[in-house]
């Protein structure tokens, strides 16, 4: 898996600050934008607004990622997030190459499982190629292809939706591969000076709630209303 | 594949008519609703409104379908439609059974292709079961499972989105399986007295435009601006 | 203000239950739907799923309301909810009548304020009518019309969005008029046997979180992390 | 009215090109992005894709505008576009100042209408201020305020939605003020080297269809299926 931030809204802190101030200020957005408030003051207002649950101002920040070499199981889950834009490599139009598949860690570390996995995938790839040689169109031959098959996609998501999606996908209960995608996304934001403050907002939901909403906790935080030792 | 209309907004014609009249009338929606206009008058107004491109009134009609025994390739495409709600059987939690897979017609009608397809799928199913017996969790063993594997889902979509989606998916160029889903959906609407009028709105985009928007036409209608023999 | 539930997805409990079961069951949606599970069992599963924060199954229930005699201030806020469908009476096309305006309670109970309010509105109505008589198009004359002016609309919203919107709009800090709209909506659900169970889910966010997320609480529940007397 | 493009996705042509190529290419998005194709080749592919009706690749471009000094009638229409993000000055929290209102051209050019309009607005402003002085909260006093009252907002919209919205709002039948907003938006794009190519896509729907979809045309293009003199 490879995740890269390709491009994003420039001046993200000023954009969020301008949006937040516009709601409560007699000044116009261009006045607020041009006033160039000090970064600390902008961050302090944004923290207050987000802390009170008003995440809508984060929608003004758009982030475009390249997500490469994930499985089709993972991409099927990923595209369920509806407030986002996806351009994904098509299995109808692009032929799949041997060896381009995702290996689950639980299989990688289990030698006999690994042997079954690899030989089955090689068998599938052989049958897939034979069908195509026989004249079957790739869009039909692909019905044989496994979930493990690599796919690549460009994903654009605004920062508010990313905040919400990370609440679910950074949970330790999330499926390991999609959790890895959002950990890599958070890591990408951390590398950018203007985005690293926002990266700290990307947390599993229990961090935001102060408790685990599921019936059983992973141990990170107690479930809602559980007795606490103090 | 099996597609069934499970439930839908009752009084759909009156609901769309009330919405359309509300915009231009001094009467209130409950007055329009209670006046019980004759069905022909309601249909005539709706036809006029839709014909002029104002489909938003169709959003008030919600339709819930059961879609069963489609491939994961098909469901991956289906869930890309973002103005819809999906509850899909999980391969993380439900084990897959032998023989529950979709056979593309181009393979069904080609005996040698069919033999390769069937034996490959049986091999995959055997490996999948062996991995599970070895203690691999189904959510990881499923990385072997092919696109052909059956999935079931409940889909709710409003009538405006269905109108738009059918423009794309009823095109003769659409992938055969997802085209089959929307042909079956249209067929389901045709069976219901109050919905069959709306079913006639569900057409490939060329029917609505009066021409094919693609660079090459399938022959149904000419491409935009092509010379016509008259 | 008058709020009426015009129509809604029939069999809402079975629809939500079928959607929830489909995710984790080897049975197909039509099998689950046809099995007609006892209502208590359905409600118990739904409570568990919603309690754990998985509200997506509520999206399969669509509710269509008539909302009449609200102010344009209120409708401007209302249409900000983006996962909903609105058909609203147009001030471009429908002439406004005298006396059709919303009176804020704080003005109703203050005699001098009430006199200013009423006489100003009458003056506006007179000017509006004079402009129209002079040949100004109603769509331009309406620039004079006050926020208080009545508007009517048909709103369709799914139950998950209604759940989320009520978290914000049933808060005691929400603006009084829009809070009244959602209290009336909740009341409408309470009157329907199949919806009254869902009505209990419609609560201000503090009820769901167990604390007030704002910096200062209205007193209903303490703010996050405040010391509690026990 | 003042409209300014505050910020937008950098490298918009490369972002759209990368998204479009990803769907049909064996290369990964980062490979396509890094290859830095010549601008003419990128534009030529994008024109082909958009011409065939596949606008989804435009969603990767996000544009943030400041829209200032529009009427509340206009902002009420504007926020009906649901695939967009708005942060709007609040009349609950910000007091309105005299003279900050929109004057319709049909009134500006009609002296007697202008006199009625101005004196009515001054009367309203006086009553509004008196109510506030009497202790009425601005959020209730604003019920008197006219549609003409200025509002300011920050709007973020992706380029695909802007394409669709301009189809409706650049129509000569659109209400003059909101049409002005989108003409100003198009003008802002025209000023930016990397966006001016996209600005040419922003057209009333008749330009895209090749005919007017309404029952009566404004004359720009004939209605669908009307006889043409040739």
For residue D213, which residues of chain B lie inside 8 Å, CB to CB? 52-53
Burial class (CB in 10 A: 0-12, 13-18, 19+), B227: exposed
- Residue D225 has a pLDDT of 75
Q: Taking CA atoms, what residue in A is nearest to B82?
A: A82
Residues A9, A156: Cα–Cα separation, whole Å: 11
Query: C128-153 in b/e burial notation, b at 16+ Cβ within 10 A?
Result: bebbbeeebebbbbbbbbbbbbbbbb
Sheet strands (E) in chain D: 2-8, 62-71, 84-88, 150-158
Burial class (CB in 10 A: 0-12, 13-18, 19+), B103: middle
Cα distance from A48 to chain C (closest Cα, Å)?
Answer: 9
For residue B49, give the 3-state DSSP assignment: helix
Per DSSP, what are the bridge partners of residue A70?
A: A151
Residues B150, B29: Cα–Cα separation, whole Å: 44
pLDDT at C148 over 60: yes
- Residue A227 has a pLDDT of 59
Token output for A77: 């889950």
Residue window 165-224, chain D: list those with CB within 8 Å of chain B: 205, 209-211, 213-215, 224
The answer to whether D166 and D203 have CB atoms below 8 angstroms apart is yes
The answer to whether A84 and A161 have CB atoms below 8 angstroms apart is yes
Residue A27 DSSP one-character state: S
- Residue B230 has a pLDDT of 45
Q: Test B53 with D205 for CB contact under 8 angstroms.
A: yes
Average pLDDT over residues B68-94: 96
Average pLDDT, chain B: 95
- Residue D120 has a pLDDT of 98
The answer to whether C8 and B9 have CB atoms below 8 angstroms apart is yes
- Residue B183 has a pLDDT of 98
- Residue B119 has a pLDDT of 97
Residues D68, C52: Cα–Cα separation, whole Å: 43
Residues C162, C185: Cα–Cα separation, whole Å: 9
| Band of pLDDT at residue C26, cut at 50, 70 and 90 | very high
Q: Test A60 with D56 for CB contact under 8 angstroms.
A: no
Average pLDDT over residues B214-222: 92
* Per-residue pLDDT reduced to its tens digit, A20-65: 999 999 999 999 999 999 999 999 999 999 998 999 999 999 999 9
Residue window 41-60, chain B: list those with CB within 8 Å of chain C: 56-57, 59-60
- Residue D113 has a pLDDT of 98
Token output for C230: 């026990």
pLDDT at B227 over 90: no
- H-helix or E-strand containing B128? helix B111-133
pLDDT at D226 over 70: no
List all chains that touch chain D, counting a touch as 3 or more CB pairs closer than 8 Å.
A, B, C
- Residue A226 has a pLDDT of 65
Place of tokens 């601008």: D39
Residues C70, B95: Cα–Cα separation, whole Å: 52
Average pLDDT over residues C7-13: 98
For residue A158, which residues of chain B lie inside 8 Å, CB to CB? none
Q: Name which residue leads in pLDDT, B52 or D191.
A: D191
For residue A60, give the 3-state DSSP assignment: helix
For residue C213, give the 3-state DSSP assignment: coil
Average pLDDT over residues D200-213: 95
- Residue A99 has a pLDDT of 86
- Residue D149 has a pLDDT of 97
pTM of the model: 0.97
pLDDT at C229 over 80: no
pLDDT at C224 over 90: no
* Per-residue pLDDT reduced to its tens digit, A199-211: 999 999 999 999 9
pLDDT at D229 over 60: no
For residue A76, which residues of chain B lie inside 8 Å, CB to CB? 72, 75-76, 79
Q: Test D22 with A95 for CB contact under 8 angstroms.
A: no
Q: At what angle do helices D111-133 and C111-133 cross, to 10 degrees?
A: 170
The minimal CB distance from A22 to the residues D9, D23, D87 is found for D87
Residues B182, D10: Cα–Cα separation, whole Å: 38
Q: Taking CA atoms, what residue in B is nearest to C21?
A: B89
The minimal CB distance from C29 to the residues B8, B57, B154 is found for B154
Q: Test B7 with C11 for CB contact under 8 angstroms.
A: yes
Residue window 71-110, chain C: list those with CB within 8 Å of chain B: 85, 87-90, 93-95, 97
Token output for A164: 């919400």
Token output for B3: 């597609």
Q: At what angle do helices C12-24 and C39-51 cross, to 10 degrees?
A: 60
* Per-residue pLDDT reduced to its tens digit, A78-118: 999 999 999 999 998 898 888 899 999 999 999 999 999 99
What is the ipTM, given to two decimal places? 0.95
For residue A141, give the 3-state DSSP assignment: helix
pLDDT at C40 over 70: yes
pLDDT at A230 over 50: no
* Per-residue pLDDT reduced to its tens digit, C158-209: 999 999 999 999 999 999 999 999 999 999 999 999 999 999 999 999 999 9
Residues B168, B4: Cα–Cα separation, whole Å: 21
Q: Test B214 with D48 for CB contact under 8 angstroms.
A: no
Q: Taking CA atoms, what residue in B is nearest to C87?
A: B19
Which among D226, D195, D187, D189 is positioned nearest to D209, based on CA atoms?
A: D226
Please indicate if any CB of chain B lies within 8 Å of the CB of A114: no
Edge-first strand listing for the sheet containing C62-71: C2-8, C62-71, C150-158, C84-88
Q: Test B147 with A148 for CB contact under 8 angstroms.
A: no
* Per-residue pLDDT reduced to its tens digit, A118-137: 999 999 999 999 999 999 99
Average pLDDT over residues B45-52: 94
Per DSSP, what are the bridge partners of residue D18?
A: none
Q: Test D131 with C117 for CB contact under 8 angstroms.
A: yes
CA atoms within 13 A on the CB side of B122: 6
Please indicate if any CB of chain B lies within 8 Å of the CB of D225: yes
- Residue D121 has a pLDDT of 97
For residue A20, which residues of chain D lie inside 8 Å, CB to CB? 87
The 3-class secondary structure across B9-44, one letter per residue, is: CCCHHHHHHHHHHHHHCCCCHHHHHHHCCCHHHHHH
Q: Test B68 with C30 for CB contact under 8 angstroms.
A: yes
Per DSSP, what are the bridge partners of residue A68?
A: A2
List all chains that touch chain C, counting a touch as 3 or more CB pairs closer than 8 Å.
A, B, D
CATH architecture of D2-68+151-209: 2-Layer Sandwich (3.30)
Q: Name which residue leads in pLDDT, B37 or A97.
A: B37
* Per-residue pLDDT reduced to its tens digit, B189-205: 999 999 999 999 999 99
| Band of pLDDT at residue A225, cut at 50, 70 and 90 | confident
- Residue B105 has a pLDDT of 98
**Catalytic-role residue among A80, A169, A173, A179:** A169
- Residue B93 has a pLDDT of 87
Q: Test C154 with B88 for CB contact under 8 angstroms.
A: no
Per DSSP, what are the bridge partners of residue D81?
A: none
Active site residue A92: no
Average pLDDT over residues B164-181: 97
Torsion of CA A78, A80, A83, A84, to 10 degrees: 40
Domain boundaries, chain A: 2-68+151-209, 103-148
* Residues of D carrying an active site annotation: 169
Average pLDDT, chain A: 95
| Band of pLDDT at residue D230, cut at 50, 70 and 90 | very low
Percent of chain D having pLDDT more than 90? 92
- Residue D93 has a pLDDT of 87
Q: Test A22 with D59 for CB contact under 8 angstroms.
A: no
* Residues of C carrying an active site annotation: 169
- Residue C187 has a pLDDT of 98
- Residue D98 has a pLDDT of 85
Place of tokens 């096309």: C93
């Amino acid at each position: 898996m490879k995740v890269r931030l390709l491009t994003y809204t420039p001046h993200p802190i000023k954009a969020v600050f301008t949006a937040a101030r516009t709601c409560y200020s007699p000044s116009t957005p261009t006045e607020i934008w041009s006033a160039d408030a000090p970064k600390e003051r902008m961050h302090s207002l944004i923290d207050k607004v987000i802390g009170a649950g008003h995440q809508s101002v984060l929608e003004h920040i758009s982030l475009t990622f390249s997500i490469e070499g994930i499985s089709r199981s993972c991409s099927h889950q990923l595209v369920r997030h509806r407030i986002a834009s996806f351009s994904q490599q098509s299995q109808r139009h692009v032929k799949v190459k041997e060896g381009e598949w995702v290996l689950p860690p639980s299989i990688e570390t289990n030698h006999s499982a690994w042997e079954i996995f690899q030989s089955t995938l090689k068998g599938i790839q052989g049958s897939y190629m034979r069908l195509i040689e026989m004249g079957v169109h790739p869009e039909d031959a692909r019905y044989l292809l496994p979930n493990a098959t690599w796919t690549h996609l460009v994903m654009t998501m605004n920062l508010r939706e990313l905040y919400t999606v990370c609440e679910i996908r950074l949970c330790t209960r999330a499926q390991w591969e999609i959790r890895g995608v959002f950990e890599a996304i958070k890591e990408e934001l951390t590398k950018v000076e203007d985005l690293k403050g926002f990266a700290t907002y990307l947390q599993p939901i229990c961090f935001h709630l102060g408790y685990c909403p599921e019936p059983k906790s992973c141990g990170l935080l107690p479930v809602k209303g559980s007795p606490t030792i103090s």
